[in-house]
Chains A and B, each alone.
Chain A
Amino acid sequence: MDDPSSGRSRKIAEDAATVVRNYLGLSPNKNLTATQLIDELEKKIKAIRPKEHAAVREGCLAILACKHVLGDLKRLNELLLLLREREILESCPKLCITFQDLAWDDYYTGGNIKYPDVRALQAKCCKPNDIVQKMQLFFLLQNDRRQKCTFVPASISDFNDDDEEKKKCPALLIPSSGKHGKWLGEALAKPKEFWWVRCLEFCRVIFLVSADEAADYEQFAKWKIDVVTYTGFGMGCGRAAGIALAKKLNRVCMMTDDRTVDLFWNETSVTKDDMANLAKAFRKAPFINGVLPKGELNILTIINPAAPQHVTFSPFFIASKEDKALHLFCKMFEAYLNDQKAPCPISRTSGNLRVGFDGANPNYENTAAKYEGSKGEALAKVTKCDLYKSTDEVPLVWDYLKGKKGFLNLWDAIKMQDSAMYLLLKEIHDHLTSGKASAEDWDAFDAYIRPWFT
């Protein structure tokens, strides 16, 4: 039996850390020194030794707790993510995700399927099948993209110029990109065929587009369609920008895509009155709501900023799975809140709303595409990531996929990565919602999963 004083004490360092924390919390007028402090932390992280992780994190958290560094919060958060990545890689350098390295033709076996799943996915962990390491791997995959792709939500105006009638209805938010706005032009020419075009009379309609593509959407100002831009690209970015916009508008919003043809309330196309009633009804709903037939936040998502707990789409699902991934996160987050004895519904699928959508996708073809500017640079970097490997651990990087597997379009390689990330998240979800998650599992969820969706 060890005596009550045995074991090497960390008490001195802990006491000193408390002094630092108190100091930062107490000291006024620390704008200058807070910046110096973050510079110092950055230096420390870059030259870090394994045993210093805890101390540096302590320092970062102490600063986060201080109001006076709000301006540097983003940079500080990035440092924390970097620190966490280093900790993970030191604890298990071989972490990666493996799956069958199929040729393009094996993924896309004909028809109009645009988003095939990868097969035989397995997370390579140092402790086989360890759920915490799987969460760490998901963190690495997301963080790799964070470092290669920029995402800055738009600076959004108030949109308070709506007349009272429009304010009664949900705002329609439509993330859109590509094809130089061509599809949008077609929809506006056929208002009877597109629900959101019909809604223009009584709803505020706002498009969310990447700043790089903003010019393509200027032509629609005459339809009284607003365009909000953000820095970044990809499906998750657009939808995350939509969530930020909904919170800013502080009213029930419906986020959908520009090919949505109808929304049915008890199997009847919604009217202006229905929309006003839906806005009232969804003020009492959870933050995020899916609509039949797919649910899972697919195609049309209703957002209620009045709900107490908020989530967002990860901007780092670029080409696909951003909706399904958020759905999984919501279910995990609900289980987490239950575990914390603070239950709160996060997402629901509405049983009496159904969305009609244009499912007539043309056959999907293997076509070379050129991506320019910052988007092209980011895509090239993302497809060089060697955390994605074949089952015999060949890195599935772009040169390999193009040279050996017949890929012509970078976007298809990204979709392959998105699919792998999603399936990994699904494994994590299945464990965390099984009722078997331990306190350690939930701590890992908080550290490695939650930052990407909240």
Chain B
Amino acid sequence: MPSAAFVVRGPQIQAMEAEYRKHIIHTVAWNLRISAPHAIAGLSPAEVELRLQAALHGAIRYNLTDPADIEAFARLCFVIGPYFDRYEKFRRAFAAATQPGSNFSMIEVLMVATPEDWCRAAQADILLRSQEQSHTSAERIPIRLETLAPHHAEAWFQGVSHPDVWRLGGLQPPASAKDVRDWIEGTRTHPQPGNYRFALITKQTGTFAGAARIWKSQDEDCVYMSYWVVRDQWSKGIATQAVRQLLVYLGPGITQPVRLKIDSGNLPSLRVAEKCGFEAISTESGITLLERRHHG
């Protein structure tokens, strides 16, 4: 029969451990706002909470007690994504942690990962969450193209600052709204022939929903296009509409092929491209090159 002290002490220790983990995880989130603001900027309070909860549950599930292990796990929930541990290669490593008597430490994960793994894990995490959301919201929002102007700067900055947007698109997180405004103003005072930039604006509410660009290649006989969509407007058909409207903008008379370069892990964007008549012609260094020859 267990002693009374033991019976009382177990839950107390568990409660203390839970508090301890929670404290570490919240400290990580706080520190990241200073040391890696791009990992948090653009996240809604609910999205931050999702990551905090994922870190807490992961620390319990994998029995992480060393502060360094808890901290590393929590950091990865932010800089890679809340479901990073479900990436196949990491899942195998974490499986060992759930075995009885396991002496698991985060080093097992940190050392099996290559830079490519981190990128793929981040993309897999985004797609997983995106799929979960698309089951609940599938409405189609009509948009129009509007020439990019300085008054779009703030929304452009906010939109691309969301980690899901820049991570999935393989983009650089911008430093500030001022940089964006300066850049937009620069494109207007020094326009480049054959280079057009647009804001994607929802028809019903006039909300900024993303951005797109078409430009004539300097080196190849082709036209390139690119686009991105604000995070909370995903799965609403906006990217598909943007590409189709860009093709209309180019007009039926265009003789050159139109190309897209898409990160090979960005599956939704690859699907949009295929839907709009693009075909993959090569893949190099994690980037898929797609081309559309017969448009209009």
Residues in A lying within 8 Å of B, measured CB to CB: 1, 3-13, 15-20, 22-23, 26-30, 33, 36-37, 40, 51-52, 55, 59
Chain A contacts of B183 at CB under 8 A? 1, 3-4
Task: Answer whether residue B39 sits at the interface, using C-beta atoms and an 8 A cutoff.
Answer: yes
Cross-chain contact B107 with A36 (CB below 8 angstroms) = yes
Chain A min CB distance to B52 (Å): 16
Cross-chain contact A6 with B118 (CB below 8 angstroms) = no
Contact of B107 among A12, A17, A23 (CB under 8 A): A23
Chain B min CB distance to A385 (Å): 34
Among B232-277, those with CB < 8 Å from A are 263
Chain B contacts of A22 at CB under 8 A? 71-72, 75
Cross-chain contact A15 with B72 (CB below 8 angstroms) = no
Main secondary structure of the interface of B (DSSP, over half): helix
Chain B min CB distance to A72 (Å): 15
Chain B min CB distance to A413 (Å): 43
Chain B contacts of A29 at CB under 8 A? 66
| CA A395 to CA B84, docked complex, whole Å | 53
| CA A29 to CA B122, docked complex, whole Å | 30
Chain A contacts of B80 at CB under 8 A? 12, 15-16
User: Quick one: which of B35, B75, B110, B186 has the most chain A CB within 10 A?
Assistant: B110
Residues in B lying within 8 Å of A, measured CB to CB: 35-36, 38-39, 66-69, 71-72, 75-76, 79-80, 105-107, 110-111, 113-116, 118-119, 122, 160, 166-167, 169-175, 179-180, 183, 186-187, 190, 192, 197, 213, 263, 285-287
| CA A51 to CA B285, docked complex, whole Å | 10
Chain A contacts of B111 at CB under 8 A? 36-37, 40, 59
Chain A min CB distance to B48 (Å): 16
Quick one: closest B residue to A49, CB to CB?
B114
Cross-chain contact B171 with A5 (CB below 8 angstroms) = yes
| CA A386 to CA B179, docked complex, whole Å | 53
Cross-chain contact A55 with B115 (CB below 8 angstroms) = yes
Nearest 5 interchain pairs by C-beta: A27-B68, A13-B115, A15-B79, A16-B118, A5-B171
| CA A30 to CA B286, docked complex, whole Å | 35
Chain B min CB distance to A317 (Å): 38
Cross-chain contact A27 with B66 (CB below 8 angstroms) = yes
What are 28 residue pairs bridging A and B, where the CB atoms are less than 8 Å apart in the complex? A3-B180, A4-B180, A5-B160, A8-B286, A9-B172, A10-B115, A11-B166, A11-B173, A12-B80, A12-B115, A12-B167, A13-B119, A15-B118, A16-B76, A16-B79, A16-B113, A17-B115, A18-B35, A19-B72, A19-B75, A19-B110, A23-B107, A26-B67, A26-B68, A27-B66, A27-B107, A51-B115, A59-B111
From known contacts A12-B122, A22-B71, A52-B114, infer whether A1 and B179 are also in contact, taking CB-CB under 8 Å: no
Quick one: closest A residue to B31, CB to CB?
A22
| CA A27 to CA B111, docked complex, whole Å | 14
